[in-house]
């Protein structure tokens, strides 16, 4: 790797001093400068308040509850599904650019299916906004029997790679699978148009080379992974989520759909088409490289494939395509990394693919869309479309030319997992530029153990299964590492084909702060630490106990109290909170005996029993004579980010969204119990009307919950609590140790939390709910500023979350952590909900 290149993307712009600030997005670079990318945690987290989107959120949540996995099946090709056609939409933002609007995609695919026996199109799911997600398969015709044989070979590669390695018929007959994800960010349009151009060429070409290629290959294309954003001209989907940050969480229907595609098709190579970086950018990426990859198997193909794509765009002859940026070759460590599994290509690598992000060059979105002349926009889009098509064609050529080696690599990846072999040490010079800075690895444990019986355990196990991680269940009690476990305990045997994915989801992670100067996006995550289930690690031993494979984990809720007794529910999981909100919606009178404990009257036992079954929650007998204060359904007004709105609705809260603009326009807080401030509300920017509304709300004792820089600034400007906020670097993020001290948020919370741009509080006149641990960062990237301040050493022992009473006798909770971040840390949801119930009074 050439370390002489200057940092192209983040650099010192991300450093945050002691003042609370939120960084804005980077701007696109001109074509003769290094590529740039928007700051990973964009302004939507702090500056843009979510709008009401109840219909979209309801559809998205329902889709999550009732998701049916797409599978390729064993029907032959072509399949010729007649896709539904939708009315023309003149407001589709693609039209201005001379690109295909969403409503024209289905007619085009229907026409191609009629014209060619090589093209099959189908709907694999719905977007958050309810739009069809299309998958196109291009291949030579196959009978049902031939398709079944392909599926059997695919299964053999994963399940018995040692046999697949020596299967001559597989080597000669297995079709090379390649997957193109054309348009995951809605306002990065041209991947769709480039992919459709390639589909049409493959469908109609009559030359022998194309015919032979399709007899040896299957090309899968998700034509647009984000139709909501494509139409609206937004990066995010209809629920406000960046789908290319969701692959470790799968909260959105679009990410679940492509998860199913990559599992179902098991591609050798995949491209994720993006834009716009000034210069075309083609991965492989810089270090840090994910420590759970079989990186030798990846980089031996990723680098030459990228070089082939670079050569293809150079042949286009445009001044803007004279070269590409290949981060592995051209950038410094940390400037364009492949560390987290949240990005589509990185997730696909764990499924056996050689994954690449491709960033087409010329910006036509955001301010460019509204300020540039249409002629210039269309010129740029035409070049971008050519670039997208050229990279796809080059990748197809590479996959076909190197099919034997790619097949052997995927077989070897899965074989290592089954065998439990350590990943090999990659020598310097393995490929040109590979050096010590590229060498990341881990030691895989022998097993993970997940005790059953909680909604968190069920959620985690089903998430693992949905991602093709194999989970077993003990048939009897057993002892492992001097601990006794009950029959029914879940076991993740790490001798399995996709051990890298299992480990990257369940392990604690790693503090990489000293290894690279900055990171683009999240550097720490852990389902094992943040999803609320108990996850024990067995480093060397697997229990001697009979097990059975788990296809789906069942909820195990129950009511553990004699009839006639009041019931008690402890709020430790998001499902516990959802159960409380369901009971309140049904008009059942609840009482709260503490921040974490809710009493349900005996006469509501039938409703409690139904919720125990549907949500997996556990009701116990309330202490005799338990009283407590009446718990009403809180009326919540929220200036919050889209992901927070989604998480709150997951827990059953109703939130009326507000913002600076809405309050300035006369929006009322008269009936609100609690105001949440985390994004899009600045007290200083309120006009007289907005400021009077907020002041009156605070004066009458309204509750307040804040999060992040926007919340901290609101607290200081409005005088909510006498807590002084200090911020870490803007790119600091990860899993942190916390010490739970207070009665509201701290009551029964996990000993870990998540931070992005962490904040801590000093002063007096409030209660400390959580403190950062003595050595707070467990996994992630958190450096001090250039002045040596605002790092984890300075945050150690400081207040991460505080609560207190406002001047108007209301209640307030200030979060310096990120308990709802991108709907990911499920085990932190309940602490945030407890803050809402408490502040609502």
pLDDT digits (tens, 9 = 90+) for 126-180: 999 999 999 999 999 999 999 999 999 999 999 999 999 999 999 999 999 999 9
Percent of the chain with pLDDT over 70: 93
Rounded to the nearest 5 percent, the helix, strand and coil shares of the chain are: 35, 20, 45
Q: What is the pLDDT of residue 354?
A: 98
Q: Mean pLDDT throughout 743-748?
A: 93
Range with the lowest mean pLDDT among 9-23, 545-559, 632-646? Answer: 9-23
pLDDT tier, 48 (very low <50, low <70, confident <90, very high otherwise): confident
Q: What is the pLDDT of residue 35?
A: 55
Q: What is the pLDDT of residue 484?
A: 98
For residue 38, is pLDDT > 70? no
For residue 421, is pLDDT > 60? yes
Q: What is the pLDDT of residue 59?
A: 59
pLDDT tier, 1 (very low <50, low <70, confident <90, very high otherwise): very low
Q: What is the pLDDT of residue 60?
A: 62
Q: Mean pLDDT throughout 397-419?
A: 98
Q: What is the pLDDT of residue 69?
A: 82
- Mean pLDDT (the chain, rounded): 93
Q: What is the pLDDT of residue 43?
A: 53
SS3 for 648-700 is: HHHCCCCEEECCHHHHHCCCCCCCCCEEEECCCCCCCCCCHHHHHHHHHHHHC
Q: Mean pLDDT throughout 686-705?
A: 98
Q: Mean pLDDT throughout 189-206?
A: 98
Please write down the long-range contacts of 485-489, taking CB distance under 8 Å and 24 or more positions apart.
485/449, 485/451, 485/543, 486/451, 486/452, 488/452, 488/453, 489/449, 489/450, 489/451, 489/452
pLDDT tier, 58 (very low <50, low <70, confident <90, very high otherwise): low
For residue 16, is pLDDT > 80? no
For residue 22, is pLDDT > 60? no
Residue 653, phi then psi, degrees to nearest 5: -80, 145
Q: What is the pLDDT of residue 46?
A: 81
For residue 37, is pLDDT > 80? no
The pLDDT tens digits for 241-264 are 999 999 999 999 999 999 999 999
CA dist 229 and 222 (Å) reads 15
pLDDT tier, 225 (very low <50, low <70, confident <90, very high otherwise): very high
For residue 20, is pLDDT > 60? no
Mark 151-179 as b/e (b = at least 16 C-beta within 10 Å).
bebbebbbebbeebbebeebbeebbbbbb
CA dist 732 and 790 (Å) reads 10
The pLDDT tens digits for 471-520 are 999 999 999 999 999 999 999 999 999 999 999 999 999 999 999 999 98
pLDDT tier, 39 (very low <50, low <70, confident <90, very high otherwise): low
Percent of the chain with pLDDT over 90: 89
Q: What is the pLDDT of residue 212?
A: 98
CA dist 48 and 639 (Å) reads 8
Q: Which residues lie below 8 Å from residue 464, measured CB to CB, with a gap of 6+?
A: 471, 492, 502, 505, 506
The pLDDT tens digits for 708-739 are 999 999 999 999 999 999 999 989 999 999 99
Q: What is the pLDDT of residue 786?
A: 84
Q: What is the pLDDT of residue 72?
A: 81
For residue 51, is pLDDT > 90? no
CA dist 673 and 665 (Å) reads 20
pLDDT tier, 26 (very low <50, low <70, confident <90, very high otherwise): very low
For residue 364, is pLDDT > 80? yes
Tokens of 52: 């009401």
The pLDDT tens digits for 263-322 are 999 999 999 999 999 999 999 999 999 999 999 999 999 999 999 999 999 999 999 999
Helices and strands counted in the chain (H then E): 26, 33
CA neighbor of 800 nearest in space, from 817, 783, 812: 817
134: left (phi over 0), alpha (psi -120 to 50) or beta: beta
Whether omega before 288 lies within 30 degrees of 0, making that bond cis, reads yes
Longest Cα–Cα distance in the chain = 84
Residue where the block lists tokens 């355990």: 457
DSSP 8-state class, residue 493? E
CA dist 575 and 722 (Å) reads 33
Q: What is the pLDDT of residue 410?
A: 98
Q: What is the pLDDT of residue 61?
A: 60
Entry pTM: 0.95
Q: What is the pLDDT of residue 65?
A: 59
For residue 525, is pLDDT > 70? yes
Question: What number of other Cβ atoms are within 10 A of residue 340's Cβ?
Answer: 25
At residue 619, the 3 state secondary structure works out as strand
Question: What number of other Cβ atoms are within 10 A of residue 65's Cβ?
Answer: 7
Continuous segment of H or E residues that includes residue 229 = helix 227-232
For residues 752 and 39, which has the higher predicted lDDT (pLDDT)?
Answer: 752
Q: What is the pLDDT of residue 63?
A: 60
Whether omega before 78 lies within 30 degrees of 0, making that bond cis, reads yes
Decide if 671 contacts 39 (C-beta within 8 A). Answer: no
Q: What is the pLDDT of residue 49?
A: 87
The pLDDT tens digits for 607-616 are 999 999 999 9
Please write down the long-range contacts of 114-118, taking CB distance under 8 Å and 24 or more positions apart.
114/80, 115/203, 115/204, 116/78, 116/203, 116/204, 117/78, 117/141, 118/78, 118/202, 118/203, 118/214
Decide if 567 contacts 620 (C-beta within 8 A). Answer: yes
Question: What number of other Cβ atoms are within 10 A of residue 95's Cβ?
Answer: 16
For residue 3, is pLDDT > 70? no
Q: Mean pLDDT throughout 114-126?
A: 98
């Amino acid at each position: 790797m050439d370390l002489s290149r200057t940092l192209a993307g983040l650099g010192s712009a991300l450093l945050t001093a002691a003042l609370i600030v939120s960084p804005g997005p980077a701007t696109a670079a001109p074509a003769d400068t290094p590529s740039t990318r928007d700051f990973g945690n964009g302004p939507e987290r702090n500056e843009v308040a979510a709008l009401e989107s109840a219909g979209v959120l309801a559809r998205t949540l329902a889709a999550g509850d009732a998701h049916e996995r797409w599978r390729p099946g064993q029907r032959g090709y072509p399949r010729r599904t007649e896709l539904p056609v939708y009315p023309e939409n003149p407001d589709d933002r693609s039209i201005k650019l001379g690109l295909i609007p969403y409503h024209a995609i289905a007619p085009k695919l229907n026409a191609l299916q009629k014209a060619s026996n090589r093209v099959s199109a189908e709907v694999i799911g719905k977007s958050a906004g309810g739009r069809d997600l299309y998958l196109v398969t291009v291949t030579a015709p196959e009978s049902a029997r031939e398709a079944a044989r392909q599926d059997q070979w695919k299964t053999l590669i994963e399940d018995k790679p040692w046999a697949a390695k020596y299967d001559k018929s597989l080597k000669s007959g297995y079709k090379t699978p390649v997957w193109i994800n054309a348009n995951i960010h809605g306002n990065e349009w041209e991947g769709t148009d480039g992919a459709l151009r390639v589909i049409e060429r493959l469908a109609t070409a009559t030359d022998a080379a194309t015919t032979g290629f399709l007899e040896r290959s299957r090309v899968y294309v998700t034509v647009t992974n984000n139709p909501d954003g494509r139409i609206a001209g937004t990066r995010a989907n209809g629920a406000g989520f960046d789908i290319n940050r969701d692959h470790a969480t799968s909260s959105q229907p679009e990410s679940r759909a492509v998860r199913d595609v990559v599992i179902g098709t098991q591609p050798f190579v995949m491209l994720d088409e993006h834009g716009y970086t000034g210069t075309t950018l083609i991965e492989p990426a810089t270090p840090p490289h994910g420590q759970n990859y079989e990186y030798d198997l990846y980089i031996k193909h990723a680098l030459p494939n990228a070089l082939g794509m670079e050569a293809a765009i150079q042949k286009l002859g445009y001044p803007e395509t004279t070269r590409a940026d290949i981060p592995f070759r051209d950038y410094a460590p940390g400037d364009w990394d492949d560390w987290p599994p949240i990005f589509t290509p990185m997730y696909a690598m764990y499924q056996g693919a050689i994954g690449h992000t491709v960033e087409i060059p010329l910006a036509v979105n955001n301010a460019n869309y509204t300020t540039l002349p249409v002629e210039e926009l269309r010129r740029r889009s035409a070049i971008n479309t050519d670039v997208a098509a050229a990279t796809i064609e080059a990748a197809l050529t590479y996959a076909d030319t190197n099919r034997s080696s790619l097949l052997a690599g995927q077989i070897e990846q899965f074989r290592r997992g089954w065998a439990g072999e350590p990943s090999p040490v990659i020598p310097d010079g393995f490929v040109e530029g590979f050096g010590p800075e590229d060498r990341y690895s881990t030691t895989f444990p022998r097993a993970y153990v997940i005790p059953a019986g909680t909604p968190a355990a069920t959620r985690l196990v089903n998430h693992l299964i949905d991602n093709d991680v194999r989970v077993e269940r003990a048939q009897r009690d057993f002892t492992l590492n001097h601990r006794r476990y009950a029959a029914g305990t879940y076991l993740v045997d790490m001798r399995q084909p996709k051990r890298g994915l299992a480990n990257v989801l369940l392990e604690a992670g790693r503090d990489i702060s000293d290894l690279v100067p900055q990171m683009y996006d999240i550097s720490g995550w852990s389902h094992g630490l943040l999803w609320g289930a108990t996850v024990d690690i067995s480093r060397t031993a697997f229990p001697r106990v009979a097990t059975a494979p788990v296809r789906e984990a069942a909820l195990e809720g129950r009511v553990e109290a004699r009839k006639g007794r009041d019931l008690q529910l402890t709020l430790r999981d998001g499902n516990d909170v959802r159960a409380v909100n369901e009971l309140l919606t049904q008009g059942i009178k609840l009482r709260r005996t503490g921040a974490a404990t809710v009493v349900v009257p005996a006469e509501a036992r039938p409703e409690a029993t139904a919720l125990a079954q549907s949500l997996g929650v556990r009701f116990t007998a309330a202490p005799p004579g338990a009283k407590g204060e009446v718990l009403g359904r809180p009326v919540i007004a929220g200036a919050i980010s889209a992901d927070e709105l989604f998480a709150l609705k997951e827990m059953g809260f109703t939130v009326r969204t507000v913002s600076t603009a809405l309050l300035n326009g006369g929006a009322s807080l008269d009936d609100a119990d609690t105001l949440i401030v985390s994004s899009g509300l600045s007290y200083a920017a309120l006009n007289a009307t907005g400021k009077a509304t907020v002041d009156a709300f605070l004066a009458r004792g309204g509750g307040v919950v804040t999060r992040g820089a926007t919340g901290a600034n609101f607290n200081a400007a409005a005088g909510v609590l006498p807590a002084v906020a200090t911020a870490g670097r803007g790119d600091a993020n990860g899993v942190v140790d916390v010490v739970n001290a207070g009665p509201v948020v701290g009551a029964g919370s996990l000993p870990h939390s998540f931070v992005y741009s962490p904040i801590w509080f000093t002063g007096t006149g409030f209660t400390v709910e959580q403190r950062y641990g003595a050595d707070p960062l467990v996994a992630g990237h958190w450096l001090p500023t250039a002045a040596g301040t605002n790092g984890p050493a300075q945050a150690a022992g400081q207040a991460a979350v505080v609560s207190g009473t406002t001047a108007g006798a209301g209640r307030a909770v200030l979060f310096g952590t990120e308990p709802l971040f991108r709907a990911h840390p499920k085990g932190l949801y309940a602490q945030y909900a407890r803050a809402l119930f408490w502040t609502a009074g």
